[in-house]
A and B are shown apart, each in its own frame.
Chain A
Amino acid sequence: MTIYYFICNDHKAAKDSVHHSRRLKLLLHRPQLTAPGAPPLAIHHARSSTIRVSPRLEVCHPRFTAPQAPWSSSPNMHSFGYRANALFTFAITILALVCAMASLSDSLNSPSPSAHVQVLNINWFQKQPNGNDEVSMTMNISADLQSLFTWNTKQVFVFLAAEYETPKNSLNQISLWDGIIPSKEHAKFWIHTSNKYRFIDQGRNLRGKEFNLTMHWHVMPKTGKMFADKIVMPGYRLPEEYR
């Protein structure tokens, strides 16, 4: 029977350590930890307590923690708290991976939405006291956005914008109406409404103006990246004179 003492440096400190140590633990010969003829292992552990007998030498007391097995890739799995922590961390990491895969699966979806807007009536068309033009109109908005929904879609935010060009700005976009579509069943809709938000120009450029009505949407996922797209519907025109 061979008994190995676990001592960190040389044995000069062993004599002094007898006075300082309370109990030394001896380990039976374990060939996989030390080869015969090899010097004794120095076991350092994060929780081990060392008693310094001189500034140069230490004696490690493995009693406080058992030595690490060389085949264990994780240094601490020997306590309930450590295992629970390792499991929790790994589970959350894997959850992040699963959510990333769910988000990537959205790219497999090729949507085919459609929309149509009919301007029924221009309610009034006036010049404001501060000099800006303002229009109020009634529209029929119908759209089929069902193909945008996947299993990873939380909701779709859709809005209708009037777009036109003026000498001052190359592109003006005015949001006339918006809505939130919470699920696929509500994604095919038809709505008869006046413009929810005021259509006001910066200036007096709207008389006889040709404009596009563009339906924009933002698909908000449950996990992952939000993406946006639009359908442009050209060919609308405002009246030549104020009403």
Chain B
Amino acid sequence: MINDDGELESDQRMDWQGQKLAEQLMQILLLSFAVVAFTTGYFMASFQMMILTYFGGVVLTTLVTVPNWPFYNRHPLEWLDPSEVEKHPKPQPSANSTSKKKPVKK
């Protein structure tokens, strides 16, 4: 689906399951790199080693999580073709406006 700006719709780049996976991966990776960095720095008695390890971990997490890798798009949503829109016109509201449910069953 192309939106008005000519870009791919966001769902085409990363679907819902992918977003959840990306968020979980980011949190788990960052936390584990923090633990690794702290133990490395503590046992090497070097503050600089801790900071370098941690920022290496941040860079790695960025590479894994931020770009739109294909494995984030394994459950894409299916959107209807616009030509289908004309075949199923919008339901006209009935006289009583209390009814809020208007599904069109085929």
Residues of A within 8 A of B (CB): 1-5, 10-12, 14-15, 18, 23-28, 37-40, 63-66, 69, 71-74, 77-80, 83-84, 86-87, 90-91, 94-95, 97-98, 101-102, 105, 150-152, 222-223
CB pair A78 B13 closer than 8 Å: yes
Grouping DSSP codes into helix (H, G, I), strand (E, B) and loop, the A interface class, with mixed when no group exceeds half, is loop
**Is A90's CB under 8 angstroms from B45's CB?**
no
Pair A65/B10 contact, Cβ less than 8 Å: yes
Choose one: B1, B77, B106; the contact of A1 (CB below 8 Å). Answer: B106
- The interface of chain B, by Cβ under 8 A from chain A, is 1, 3, 9-11, 13-14, 16, 19-20, 22-23, 26-27, 30-31, 34, 37-38, 41-42, 45-47, 50, 54, 58, 61-62, 65-68, 77-80, 82, 84-85, 88, 90-93, 97, 100-106
Shortest 9 CB-CB contacts between residues of A and residues of B: A11-B93, A69-B16, A77-B19, A151-B45, A78-B10, A26-B80, A39-B100, A94-B34, A91-B58
Contact of B20 with A69 in the complex, beta carbons under 8 Å: yes
Query: Knowing A18-B90, A23-B82, A86-B26 touch, does A78 contact B19 (C-beta < 8 A)?
Result: yes
CA of A11 to CA of B102, assembled, Å:
8
* Closest-CB distance, B25 to chain A (whole angstroms): 10
